[in-house]
Amino acid sequence: MKVAIYSRVMEEDQRPDVQLFFDELKKQKLQPVIFHSFFEQIKDTIELPADTEVFHLSEDITNEIQAIISLGGDGTLLDTVTLIRGNTVPVMGINFGRLGFLASIGRNEVQASIKALVNHSFVVDKRTLIHLDSNLPLFGDVSYGLNEFAIHKQDIAPMIKIHTYLNGEFLNTYWADGLIVATPTGSTGYSLSCNGPIVFPESGSFVITPVAPHNLNVRPIVVPDENIISFEIESRSDQFICALDSRREIVNKDVQLAVRKESFSLSLIRLNENNFLQTLRNKLTWGLDKRN
């Protein structure tokens, strides 16, 4: 059984846990296929199984790969999602970072998570992805994201006007620093920090949240994810910023943009003990009250 391993970097204090991870893979007879740049970082400091392989591209993730394991924080997992590209292989996030909301499996659960892979004693959550359509080639061949699509003014530019439409019908004009269209997964991220609501992962919706709106009566809105959401931008600046998760591109204001639900979804692995409500309480201290 092969598992692909993706990570950005290994910090020195993570070395014992990373070694434990690969030792457990060997013990459970799982063959690691490591992303090439991470392999180059660890090959001289981590004792790897003799049958270790290396992959370079998303095309290298074949049907032989049973799962992709992301070692790092939520940002690392978002990078891992770009490798999926319609592949049905599930992703497991082991948190070596800080918050670990998406990568919800802790360092202390490394051995349990690998045993769960072997025994198939895990739960797979289907997570909606958001897809960007444009008249310009943006974000290469990875024009989708797990958390959100966002439009931003540039740092020194004044606020922008974002005319927004649902299936061609006018929704609103946002005078703001930007606008976020978040998936249910992304509703607990950037959108939440801009006062957007939390929605359950299976809710089948998008959250449209303005960033620093100029009008007090403009609030986030939840819309069904069957809608195609399109935009027209007005700005005193000639350019603005488009973002898909942590990836960004600067584009001209006359660009044509629309977002919709991606045709495929992400299969996110979680252990049986973890669920969305527990993660809300434990990671975001949702509902925390010392009286309880």
Catalytic positions = 74
Q: Distance between CA atoms of 97 and 154, rounded to whole angstroms?
A: 29
Sign of the alpha-carbon torsion through 219, 154, 247, 100 = negative
Q: Distance between CA atoms of 280 and 267, rounded to whole angstroms?
A: 20
Is residue 251 within a helix (H) or strand (E), and if so which, with residue range?
Answer: strand 247-252
Total residue length of the chain: 292
Q: Distance between CA atoms of 39 and 256, rounded to whole angstroms?
A: 40
Q: Distance between CA atoms of 215 and 292, rounded to whole angstroms?
A: 38
Q: Report how far apart, in Å, the C-alpha atoms of 15 and of each of 9, 41, 51, 167, 203 are.
A: 11, 11, 20, 50, 39
Longest dimension (CA), the chain: 62
Q: How far apart are the first and last CA of the chain?
A: 46
Q: Distance between CA atoms of 166 and 179, rounded to whole angstroms?
A: 14
Written as six digits, the tokens of 134 are: 């444009």
Count how many Cα atoms sit within 13 Å of the Cα of residue 13 in the half-sphere of its side chain. 4
Q: What does the DSSP 8-state code read for residue 166?
A: E
Edge to edge, the sheet with strand 169-176 lists 144-145, 130-134, 257-261, 229-234, 160-166, 169-176
